[in-house]
Structure 1
Amino acid sequence: MPSFSGNELTNEHIDELRDAFEKYDLDSNGTLSANEVRLALISVGYEITEAELYDLIHSVAVRDEERLDLKKFIRMMAPRMANVDSDKSLCRTFNMIDRDRDGYVTVQDVRAIMVVLGEVVTDDDIKDICQAVDMDGDGRISLRDFVGFMHSPI
């Protein structure tokens, strides 16, 4: 497997990144602008805020450079490709827990999964779990909350 900055990429990952790069090099100049990078990231399953986008670009680009060639794009994405794969798995898990498919996990959903797992928990335990996973504090657990919690250091 090719290695970039200590992160292993499969040939499939490299091909996927190359395809995304070529597809979103809209002006065909061999580099991606910040907007083109964002589109390419979304196409490989990586959602990102504008601030995160510029942090990523600046992690591999020379100071004040805001265009990436293919090599820098792959180097930027290498550590994130494993997260894309794990995020797909987390999404499937979230969808299994979200029984009514409304995009949010409720206290009842958490209680039901605990029963399925054979865990004996109190109502207070379930409330604590839900509060811990509700990363944005809006009183409900979205997919973003769930993935963010699962990626957070414990």
Structure 2
Amino acid sequence: MEDTKEEETTIRSLTEDQVTEICETFALYETPRTPGMIRQNDLGNVMYQLGIIRTESEINCMFQEFEYELNEGVTVAQFLHVMTKVYQQLYDKDSLKAAFDAIDETKNDAIHGSDLRHFALSMGMKFTDLEFEEMFKQVDFDGDGKIGWTDFVKAVTKP
């Protein structure tokens, strides 16, 4: 498989764990007839398995933006290229700030345990008090009892 210089550069901007996860998920949809390639109608399924939910129209637009023809299918290099942009959009500063603000119910530029617990429960997550305390400690990197902006960014973007 021959990658363009642009694709090689883009792939390097993903973490090693992200590339591995994307490639392993992609491989689940390959067929013996088309190794290294998946069909257009499997793109949504692969993205869904990676936790990315997009409509068929959105997926088509993403690939058209890179001028990839979907008729023959998509190569793993093309998919990695597109997924890099998707991941960058997920982790851009404005998106992260909006997520932080949504969880920070008290609007004091810090997420307290009660904020995070309420958000997690509203998302359908269930856990014991001990599990919650452990989760909170894992994202309170500076140990000050609250999750500030720096802690939040580290927690969300760490591989």
Q: TM-score, normalised by structure 1?
A: 0.50
More relative contact order, 1 or 2 (CA 8 Å, 6+ apart):
2
